[in-house]
Amino acid sequence: MHPLKFVPILKPRLWGGTKLGEVLGKSVQADGIGESWELSGVAGDVSVVANGDHKGTSLTTLIEKFPKELLGSSVVERFGHEFPILIKFIDAKLDLSIQLHPHDDLAKERHNSFGKTEMWYIMDADPGAELIVGFNRDVTREEYAQSLENDTLLELLNYEPVSEGDTFFINTGKVHAIGAGVLLAEIQQTSDITYRIFDFNRRDKDGNLRELHTELALDALDYKKKDDFKVNYPKEKDNVNDMVSCPYFKTNFLHLSSDLEQDTSNRDSFTIYMCVDGEAVIANDSGSVSIARGETVLMPANSEQISIRTKASKLLEVTV
C-alpha cells in the first residue's frame, strides 16, 4: 500500500485565527478556523484519502479492508479496527477554554470513549505567548470549587511561556489551555471528550455562554502540582531522536538535512509523519509522496522500508 495523504477536516472555532491558511497553506475559506484534523477516525469526522489508488476512500473503509496491512497486527490486537490516534494542527488566535480530559476508565464509563492523552509541539508563537499547564501549587477539591465560585481560578494556574520547538505532554486529568498566538501540532488518543471548566465568560456568535462541565470535572481533575509536562528531547541532526513515549503513542523528532533510510520491517505499526518545517519526499516500495510544512502522511504498517528524501525538514514521526 502506497503512502497515504488525507483531506484536512477544517474546524471553525470561537478562538480560531488565520494561520492555518496563511502559514500552513490550508484551503481556508473563512477566518476563525482553529483546527485542521489531519488524520481522524472519530465518528462523524473520518478522514478521506486524498491521493493515489485509494483516493476518496475513508480511513475506516481502508481499515476494514486491510486491517493488519494498514495498522499492524499488534495495533489490531489492542484497538481492533479503531484508528487509535487523532492528528491535528491548531491555531489559537485567542485563548482556548481552560479544560481537562478524563482517563480511559472514566471516559469508558461515562462516554463509551477512550480518554485523551495528548502532546503538543509548538510550531510558531507570537511574542509573549503562553500555555496554561497544571496548577501552580497543590490544590484541594474544596479550594478548586471555591475558586470557581469566586472567579479566582486563574490565580491557581501555572503559565508557561513558549517558543518554536517546545514540546509538552498533557496526561489525563491535567488542567490546560492553549494561549493566544500559538500554532501547534497535536498528537492525541482518538477521543473528542473535553471537560471545559472556564471560558473567560465569553459568548458564542449567538450571544450564549458556552457549556461548562463543572461537575464532570471534579472527579477527573488532578489537583496536584506536577512538573511533568515539559519534554526535554535531543535534537541531533539527521538522527531519530526520542521525544515522547507513552502507552498510546511514541513520537520521534527528525531534524534532517540529508536523506534518511529506515528499515521498518519489524515495526508492526503504521507510521505517521507530520511536517513541522521544510519539505521532503517520503517513500516505501509502493510509491512516494511529497510533504511540506503543515502536511501529514500515513505510512502503512506493511511498509518494509521507509525512505525520506530531503535537504531541510523537521518531522514528527508517530507510531503506536
CA atoms of 282 and 298, how far apart (whole Å): 10
Instruction: Show which residues are catalytic.
Output: 196
Q: Under DSSP, is residue 253 helix (H, G, I), strand (E, B) or coil?
A: strand
176 is in an annotated binding site: yes
Q: Under DSSP, is residue 209 helix (H, G, I), strand (E, B) or coil?
A: strand
CA atoms of 57 and 262, how far apart (whole Å): 28
User: Which residues are within 8 A (CB) of 201 and not within 5 positions of it... i.e. 6 or more apart?
Assistant: 209
**CA 298 → CA 137, 242, 316, distances in Å?**
41, 19, 12
Residue 293 CB-density burial (10 A; 0-12 exposed, 13-18 middle, 19+ buried): middle
CA atoms of 261 and 128, how far apart (whole Å): 39
Angle at 264 between CA 90 and CA 79, to 5 degrees: 60
118 is in an annotated binding site: yes
Spacing of C-alpha 59 from chain mean position: 17
Q: Under DSSP, is residue 107 helix (H, G, I), strand (E, B) or coil?
A: helix
Note whether 298 and 57 are within 8 A (CB): no
Pairing of strands 45-46, 41-42: antiparallel
Which residues fall in the annotated binding site?
A: 101, 118, 176
Which residues fall in the annotated binding site for Zn(2+)?
A: 101, 118, 176
